[in-house]
A and B are shown apart, each in its own frame.
Chain A
């Protein structure tokens, strides 16, 4: 496993496509807590799907004013089809070209497999990582860690 960026580190900025014709930059989300969820691939088996779970938990993330961004090396068209099929209500960023560059910057790239690790980051309103978590590829980490991190953030 790789070493992911740890709390206290300034979150590396990025600008990635979230649709075939629209980009999202991390700095645009300054002022709010941000959850970055790196994951291996779109279209993993449905009922245990991490992104589908976060889609359901989204209202709880929103209570903290937090923005969620999913990131994988899938292309924008793939993300679009996947998001539409799963009725996802948050953006998926395509770390597609150069492949995995943003995942690598966060230490969340699985070199041999050629895709992102299952890594989570909670970033505060000033762009500093306050919590990070690396999960084995096959283990959906759930949302409890994220909610705890957002709670801590709110307490200050």
Chain B
């Protein structure tokens, strides 16, 4: 079974209880329709398990196929540097159908982020190393497409509809 090679740490974007008995890691791409499909499901799963689940999101942009995946990932990291990662993560998925450069700045404005600073961060590729590090770690862990999920470090190869994820997490919690 394929295992997560990079352990969840303080460097990660985490949501939920850090001491939860189950950690769900998603490797995702903001332009990937399947990830967009998984987004509301993950929200439901988080609600369902409450304090028993920690959710971690890591970048896995398929840049050759999705031209806005990389700038979107870097925009979320920029927001993260201003403690607004999850707000941006959610806005990007909620508005995924019209993802482009202008849309990224629009979301940044909604979050009251400095647009000039964002422009500079994207142009200088300030957050590219962070995104690359997530990607490389993902490849080493056997991420084979997006989204790829890991439950307590084990790759989840099954379907990721609500019921399947709940069942899989219940098994981990047992």
Which residues of A does B touch, CB under 8 Å?
46-50, 52-53, 55-57, 60, 86-89, 139-144, 147
Can you name the residue of chain B whose Cβ is closest to the Cβ of A87? B64
Interface residues of B in 27-53 (CB under 8 A from A): 29, 32-35
Which chain A positions have C-beta within 8 A of B146?
A: 47-48
Q: Are B157 and A139 in contact (CB under 8 A)?
A: yes
| Chain A to chain B contacts (Cβ below 8 Å), 20 pairs | A46-B65, A47-B29, A47-B35, A48-B145, A49-B145, A52-B145, A53-B62, A53-B144, A57-B139, A87-B65, A88-B64, A139-B157, A140-B144, A141-B144, A142-B142, A142-B144, A144-B139, A144-B140, A147-B139, A147-B140
Which chain B positions have C-beta within 8 A of A55?
A: 64-65
| Main secondary structure on A side of the interface with B | loop
Give the number of A-B contacts (CB < 8 Å). Answer: 57
Q: Provided the pairs A53-B62, A87-B64, A89-B64 are in contact, do residues A143 and B32 lie with their beta carbons within 8 angstroms?
A: no
Which chain B positions have C-beta within 8 A of A57?
A: 139
Q: Are B144 and A48 in contact (CB under 8 A)?
A: yes
Q: Provided the pairs A142-B142, A144-B141, A147-B139 are in contact, do residues A47 and B64 lie with their beta carbons within 8 angstroms?
A: no
Q: Provided the pairs A53-B145, A86-B65, A87-B65 are in contact, do residues A47 and B33 lie with their beta carbons within 8 angstroms?
A: yes
Is B165 an interface residue when CB atoms closer than 8 A count as contact? no
Which chain B positions have C-beta within 8 A of A147?
A: 139-140
In the complex, what's the smallest C-beta–C-beta distance from A146 to chain B, in angstroms? 9
